[in-house]
Amino acid sequence: MKTIYALLGTLCVGLGAIGTVVPGMPTTVFLIVAAWLYARSCPGLHRRLMEHRVFGPYLRMAEKREMPRRAKVMALAMMWSGIGICVATVPVVAVQALVVLLALIGSAVVLFWVRTGDAGLSSLGEAIPNCSR
């Protein structure tokens, strides 16, 4: 099982890396899953992932349930842009209602469950070239 977990963790790191450059594809979710898989399979890989200069700050912020204010605003704006497109293009009212309901729940999580802070923000600025704060 440890080998399977390590392979799946590596796949998740790859998907997370792709998510850093592909709009709309999540990064942090894949990295959290990778960290979980590595923690159960190979502590050395887990440590390397947590200390990685680009991925480490994402994981530390997720561990603290913290997100910079700018990231919260961007996440909500992108989410609601996608919701608007979905509602405008899907003709089924029940699907539209479900999408809006789930978006409201997601927005509540971002606004009230995830704390606003700047933990790891300076690390992100140093790790990602041309990243302005």
pLDDT, one tens digit per residue, over 71-127 is 899 889 988 998 999 999 999 999 999 999 999 999 999 999 989 987 555 544 444
- Cα–Cα distance for residue pair 113/115, rounded to 1 Å: 6
Output the pTM of the full model.
0.64
Do the beta carbons of residue 31 and residue 55 sit within 8 Å?
A: yes
Enclosing H/E stretch for 116:
strand 115-116
> For residue range 66-79, what is the model confidence (pLDDT) as tens digits?
888 998 998 899 88
- Cα–Cα distance for residue pair 93/86, rounded to 1 Å: 11
Range list of H helices, the chain: 2-19, 28-41, 43-50, 55-63, 69-89, 93-108, 121-127
User: What is the domain partition of the chain in residue ranges?
Assistant: 1-65+119-133, 69-116
CA 80 to chain centre: 16
- Cα dihedral 93, 88, 104, 18 sign: positive
Q: How many residues does the chain have?
A: 133
Q: Among 112, 91, 87, which Cα is nearest to 100's?
A: 87
Backbone angles phi, psi at 66, to 5 degrees: -130, 145
Q: Which of 34-38, 53-57, 123-127 has the lowest mean pLDDT?
A: 123-127
- Cα–Cα distance for residue pair 93/111, rounded to 1 Å: 26
